[in-house]
Structure 1
Amino acid sequence: MAEIYELFLTCPKGLDGLLLEEAQALGLQQARAQVSAVRGEGDLETAYRLCLWSRLANRVLMVLARFPVADAEELYMGVRNVPWSDHLDAGGSLAVEFSGRGSGIDNTHFGALKVKDAIVDSLRAEFGHRPTVDKVNPDIRVHLHLDRGQAVLSLDLSGHSLHQRGYRLQQGAAPLKENLAAAILIRAGWPKIAAEGGALSDPMCGVGTFLVEAALMAADIAPNLKRERWGFSQWLGHIPVLWKKLLEDAEQRAAAGLAKTPLWIRGYEADPRLIQPARNNIERAGLGEWVKVYQGELATFEPRPDKGQRGLVICNPPYGERLGDEASLLYLYQNLGERLRQSCLGWSAGVFTGAPELGKRMGIRSHKQYAFWNGALPCKLLMLDIDPRQFVTGERGESRDGREPAAAAAEPARLSEGGQMFANRLQKNLKQLGKWARREKVECYRLYDADMPEYALAVDIYRDWAHVQEYAAPKSIDPAKAQARLLDALAALPQALDIPPERIVVKRRERQVGKKQYERQNTEGRFMEVQEGGVKLLVNLADYLDTGLFLDHRPMRMRIQREAEGKRFLNLFCYTATATVHAARGGARSTTSVDLSRTYLDWGRRNLSLNGFSDKQRLVQSNVMEWLREDRGEYDLIFIDPPTFSNSKRMEGVFDVQRDHVELIDLAMARLAKGGVLYFSNNFRKFEMDEGVMARYQVEDISAQTLDPDFARNARIHKAWRITVRGA
């Protein structure tokens, strides 16, 4: 009678229920699920079968011993008492893994060292020489788990984790592990669909993991059939004849499966860099006749199997990691929902996502949801029936019962009640401000600025683009509710503004301290030319928190242009030198622009060159305060728009506009020519001009004069003063 072993199978978090069903089907007896594991009994043939055929397990462990542990010495003796000569040649190699803690052993490295010493000492005492340690490809891999004073010592039969099938040598940025992909396919009902001859398509296939795992199931191919090295290959208890029998049986089943007419399994991927790696992975898996991959954007995705054939759409859309990802992801999920409604009627779909709220925006009600973990990230598999009765039309999720399928499929999901209110406000503002902008030839303006408190966004128009900034919600607001409102607003923007989603850029606006407001947010490097008051300026909507053009200062820039003729102009904290371009356009005799950032000075230089200004335009990289203390120039027109706070590796201390504005203004006024004007502004809402400044100079608050209609709703956007020498 074959010897029965205690077997322990590990798996990713959340897969233990599925693994239990699989392991029982593969012959594991007395099986029961534990957290991220399944425990049971079986003979060596069962253990081999689990290694070869489990699509879900990470490892198959054979328990060698269980014993109590009170301290490190008991751990050592418990391991040493195992007859290691039955398992490992004294001249062989081993690796040890240790997990758990307790009994005075709180360091896994120390625990592994004690286990290794016990094995080595046992074999050296018996044979006079010892095995070596090989952490990569050992003859045997030993695992010991310590929990509440009990040790479980096991032999790892799998070797490298079973999710490493061997076909995926090339992968994308965030691939699913193969066993997680298999679990998702099982939950999505693919084995039954495949058995009935159904089709499968992945519109965002990456390097093809879903496709390969689906084909392996459909063709009855053991997932680890091509693995050459196992944890039991050099184990002294290994029975090659038994393993060969199982292997030959699996090879026969694979040959029979591949001889069948291939199912229709297709993947589509927008990124051309992933197409060849995906095809390489498919070829390595031996599935080139079963799986095909094509390059294609989601917008063009349309599965075309045999007419009338049903199937499964499976995909793993991106979840979003950076601030501002909500917009592109929302439109991606909406686009996915639209493609499913239009092209996949009668199919089922499984959407695996770490952002379930976005999944709700596809316009199709999910009839079932399964919880998973992708590493440490909680995720859900949303199951959808692509049926007009499941298409969502409004906030409460009413379905389109009774509608004609074709008409229902072509209609996009409607806005929620709140989203429609937001859209109405945008359209109202667009009607009013659009007339003003066209009349004044203004290409860039603020359309909306948290007009409705529950939709705390700023929406700016840059020609035919929209730049959206989400104000961080107060801590008192439920984050889930804030995200839902944001997604409602983002869904409304393309419809209300008639701007395609790819021309909408979203960022999150929080209080920025020091240089953080100028830090690079992205790396697209895409600049756009806009016009203002007869000058051309470069803006970048994606790469930085600000775009290179402060829209609220438009009236100030126009004032500078009108007053600059024949003047020596000084622009402090010049940013991208937009005010300098206006001064040059107005006929300034010379301009000097000072900023600490080389990036923005280079941007300013490009702005000047774009308008044909290069001579007599001086750009200085320096700390403004230090530069003013050293400069001996004289200027007729000075503009200062300092940040609220600023720091840098190149400057000592931190600039604080409230604290430092007195010294800043005094230093600048010392450089002001007779009859000259200094314009000072900032956007610190709590700013108060020092009484001493107002006593020493002629100071006029011109804030109201520096607001155009697009900022009239927000009179506190900035404050501005005209400062001259008294009596001048």
Structure 2
Amino acid sequence: MPANQEVELYLTCPKSLEGLLLDEAQALGLSDAREQLAGVSGRGTMQAAYRMCLWSRLANRVLLVLKRFSVKTVEDLYHGVNDIDWSEHLLASGTLSVEFTGRGSGIDNTHFGALKVKDAIVDALRDAEGNRPSVDKINPDVRIHLHLRRGEATLSLDLSGTSLHQRGYRLQQGAAPLKENLAAAILLRAGWPELAKQGAALVDPMCGVGTFLIEGAMMAADVAPNLRRERWGFSNWLGHIPATWQPLYEEAQQRAQTGLAKTPLWIRGYEADPRLIQPARNNIERAGLARWVNIYQGELATFEPKPDQGQTGLVVTNPPYGERLGDEASLLYLYQYLGERLRSACLGWQAAVFTGAPELGKRMGLRSHKQYSLFNGALPCRLLLFQVNPDRFVTTERASSHGQAKPSRDFDDEAPRLTGEPETVPVAAESARLSEGGQMFANRLKKNLKQLGRWVRKEEIECYRLYDADMPEYALAIDVYADWLHVQEYAAPRSIDPEKAQGRFLDALAAIPTVMDVPPERIVIKRRERQAGTRQYERQAERGQFMNVTEGGVKLLVNLTDYLDTGLFLDHRPMRMRIQKEAAGKRFLNLFCYTAVATVHAAAGGARSTTSVDLSKTYLDWAKRNLALNGFSDKHSLVHADVMAWLENDREIYDMIFVDPPTFSNSKRMDDVFDIQRDHVLLLDRAMARLAPGGSLYFSNNFRRFVMDESVESRYQVTNITAQTFDPDFARNKKIHQAWHLTQRTD
């Protein structure tokens, strides 16, 4: 193929980068260029094709189109590929790989399509001596692509080899790596090349393994992104023109040598995770940019760039997604910190924030002047561009947070102090800018704190509910666990716009630290939906982070992160205290015992013996730890069984029984599905059969529509004690449970 002959080229790229790639490809020599879905097509010489392989910062692949043809049948596909003179591209003893995309014309399986293309090429090259190419998916001599769409096939040869986003410097990466060409696109959208020409600084306060910094430094130093690549898709292609390629490669080497010899720009990265520091530095070293890029360990909240001679520049960052810090809502405080640092430490700078949660970008206290929709893989994201100047600050009502784990000082005399010493973490003081709704929510929290304060201090309550959807539009529950907060978002009804519900939830989260001085690391956020079966007991995370709390003189283990519930039902506190008070000398039975907190209280109250039954080994192990934590090791039996089946076979007698069943359960280990409304009569009959004369059975459940069957009241003395089982923190939610006291009838 003559070096100056124009060929058809197709450049692929990540979805949403087509416009940028079009501009880049045209600058590199592509003519008649047109945007396509996830790519750009056009014409150019082999010199232009080589230049795109070497210099494209955005493309994944540079494909040389060999042929376009119609395909109506599988035989059409075979013959269309077989008709090419493959001896111009590959030796009969060579290797190839084939990638097939699309479907139709009788081909509904990409593997089958690739096999047909391979057969057509191999058959065309099989020589008289019987040699034939073999398949090598790792390092083939040529890579062939065939795309089939609406009966039209496009057959191409890949000039790039492995994807061009793989520059070769990043052998180590973090948990959620950003591809190099996407990082380059973000820098281009942010205007970094022009800023670099002006000598600006570049900084990433959450740099991970340094991808933004390396790509930015290569742009500033005029280093071709793929200069260090050792193997190309054209390296063993028979149509390769070394005389055209070599001068381009040598020119790129010279440009890089000249650029890297210049005085480096101020390019810095900061990363809180110490495990990523050395991998980032290794990547920088492999890219040949050790003089240009520096990485330091540092927390976001203390980030403060101090470039030489006071010049400004670009802050670019990709905040962690939910995989690294929990669900999306828990990132709110991270975005608040980021906004606070930009406003206080980066005046006059520009900022580019690439986010998978654009609604959180609105919480930074800055108005973006441009936004771009991009994709990170299949995840839709947004690039927010900011000019960090006071006229772009969001000026709304502000509230401050301070550094100790206690309510705000205005309510110190009335509100309960949180106990314990929190770990020292940087808090974005004076950073919260609350919306009108957020301020309204903050006011409600302050009111609740004031109302509960004396009671909490007097009763020495360490764990309590502070807020429970008091305002229906802010549908969440906030529980205090010593110096931690446990926040549960109730799923909004379908009639509520999800975007509006999410906005209100974020308003509430923003308000919490302005009232409760708890660092974000000690605020656990969960979404609670209507639960079926045992789903409420299913593991949500794998942290295994338990903490000790106290209640009524006993120590208990709670886990705020791993399950939807924490191991301690706060609304049952009065019931547990009643059990502790009445348990002395009694044989106590706890059915559906969960983590056996009621059993611990009974033991603390002097129970002669306790038996606790549950179907979950996980919770029975937790129960064992709760008992051991309080020094109760003997006379306390834990039984792994289906409660209904166990009651049918048990013949022991008990003086006090506590029954707190789930609304519904369909565990595979049960003989039948359990439904509290349907099965409560049988459950209570079997439990009452085990109750000693003069004994007490306490029955409770949280099914809001539950109605006690009249037959129960006809056989036993039944007293509804629901009103006696609420402490002040649940006085606003009288429907959270119902409770009864049952004894044997004396008549």
Question: Is the structural similarity TM-score above 0.5?
Answer: yes
Looking at structure 2, the residues matched to 530 and 458 of structure 1 have their Cα atoms a distance apart, in angstroms, of 19
Please list, as runs of the form range in 1=range in 2, the aligned pairs for 1:366-445 lying within 5 A after superposition. 366-394=368-396, 411-445=430-464
Distance 2:256 2:148 in 1: 40
Once the two structures are superposed, residues 278-307 of structure 1 have per-residue CA deviations (whole angstroms, 9 ceiling, x without a partner) of 111111111111111111111121112113
Partner of residue 740, structure 2: 721
Q: Which residue of 1 aligns with 2:93?
A: 91
Tell me the CA shift for residue 190 of structure 1.
0.8
Q: Partner residue of 1:28?
A: 30
Please report how far the alpha carbon of residue 669 of structure 1 lies from its aligned counterpart in structure 2 after TM superposition.
Answer: 0.8
The structure 2 residue matched to 1:540, chosen from 553, 559, 563, is: 559
State how 1:338-353 maps to structure 2 within 5 Å.
Answer: 338-353=340-355
Task: Supply the distance in 1 between the matched residues of 2:238 and 2:218 (Cα, whole angstroms).
Answer: 32
Whole-Å separation in 1 of the counterparts to 2:49 and 2:484: 61
Question: Which residue pairs with 1:406 in the alignment?
Answer: none
SS at structure 1 position matched to 2:534 = helix
Residue of structure 2 in register with 1:676 after alignment: 695
User: Is 2:363 aligned against 1:358?
Assistant: no
Quote the offset at 1:126 in angstroms. 7.0
SS in 2 for 1:514: coil
Match of 1:131 in 2: 133
1:251 to 233, 250, 253: 253
- Pairing partner for 1:213 from 212, 215, 229: 215
Instruction: Give the Å deviation of 1:111.
Output: 2.1
Task: State the identity as a percent.
Answer: 75
Describe the superposition over 1:166-199 as per-residue Cα deviations: whole angstroms up to 9, x where unpaired. 1111111111111111001100111111111111
Q: Secondary structure at the match of 2:64?
A: strand
Answer yes or no: is the 8 Å Cα contact 1:204–1:268 preserved in 2. yes
**Which among 581, 589, 593 is matched to residue 562 of structure 1?**
581
Distance 1:602 1:105 in 2: 55
Pairwise CA RMSD: 1.7
Distance 2:433 2:111 in 1: 57
| More off after superposition, 364-373 vs 273-282 | 273-282
Deviation at 1:323? Answer: 11
The residue that corresponds to 1:485 in the other structure is 504
**Partners of 1:16 and 1:395 in 2: how far apart?**
42
User: Which residue number corresponds to residue 590 of structure 1?
Assistant: 609
Greater displacement, 487-496 / 459-468:
459-468
Q: Which amino acid aligns with 1:332?
A: L
Aligned-partner Cα distance in 2 for 1:32–1:127: 45
What letter is aligned with 2:26? Q
- Aligned residue number for residue 328 of structure 1: 330
Are the aligned partners of 2:11 and 2:60 in contact in 1 as well (CA < 8 Å)?
A: yes
CA distance in 2, matches of 1:150, 1:594: 67
Alpha-carbon offset, residue 68 of structure 1: 2.2
SS in 2 for 1:451: coil
Question: Are 1:316 and 2:335 matched, yes or no?
Answer: no
Shift of 1:67: 2.0
Amino acid paired to 1:173? A
CA distance in 1, matches of 2:543, 2:499: 30
Paired with 2:466 and 2:332, the residues of 1 have a C-alpha distance of 21
What is the aligned length?
716
Cα shift at 1:148:
2.4
- Contact preservation (8 Å) 1:323, 1:507: no
Secondary structure, counterpart of 1:366 in structure 2: coil
User: Residues of 2 paired with 1:586 and 1:322: CA distance?
Assistant: 44
Q: 1:468/1:187 Cα in 2 relative to 1: closer, same or farther (>3 Å)?
A: same
Counterpart code for 1:197 = G
Matched, 1:616 2:618: no
- Tell me which amino acid in the other structure corresponds to 1:109: H
Q: Work out which of the residue numbers 224, 230, 237 in structure 2 matches 1:235.
A: 237
Identify the match of residue 66 of structure 2 among 54, 64, 67: 64
Q: CA deviation at 1:502?
A: 2.2
Question: What is the CA-CA distance between 1:447 and the residue it aligns to?
Answer: 1.3
Q: How does 1:162-311 map to 2 (within 5 A)?
A: 162-311=164-313
Per-residue CA deviation, residues 372-402 of structure 1 (Å, 9 max, x unaligned), is: 1111111110001111111112399xxxxxx
Q: Is the 8 A contact 1:328 1:502 kept in 2?
A: no
Counterpart of 1:329, as a letter, is L
Letter in 2 for 1:444: C
In structure 1, distance between residues paired with 2:136 and 2:634: 69
Unaligned runs of 5+ in 1: 397-408
Q: Report what 1:399 is aligned to.
A: none
Deviations 1:631-670 (A, max 9, x none): 2111101101111112323222222111111111111111
1:401 alignment counterpart: none
The 3 A distance-change label for structure 1 pair 525 and 107 is closer
The aligned counterpart of 2:49 is 47
Name the amino acid aligned to 1:621. Answer: H
Task: Please state how far the C-alpha of 1:22 moved relative to its aligned partner.
Answer: 0.5
After TM superposition, give the deviation of residue 24 of structure 1 in Å.
0.9
TM-score normalised per structure 2: 0.93
Give the drift of 1:464.
2.3
| Preserved CA contact (<8 Å) 2:332 2:506 | yes
Unpaired runs of 5+ residues, structure 2, are 399-427
8 A Cα contact 1:394 1:413, kept in partner: no
Aligned twin of 1:516: 535
**Structure 1: how far apart are the matches of 2:501 and 2:188?**
34
Amino acid at match of 1:545: L
Q: Which runs of 4 or more aligned residues in structure 1 lie more than 3 Å from their structure 2 counterparts after TM superposition?
A: 125-128, 321-324
Aligned pairs (5 A) from 1:685-704: 685-704=704-723
- Post-superposition offset of 1:119: 1.4
In the alignment, which of 627, 631, 654 is matched to residue 635 of structure 1?
A: 654
Deviates more, 1:514-523 or 1:168-177: 514-523
Q: Which residue identity is paired with 1:243? A: W
Aligned counterparts of 1:323 and 1:552: Cα–Cα separation in 2 = 29
- Separation in 1 of the partners of 2:214 and 2:304? 20
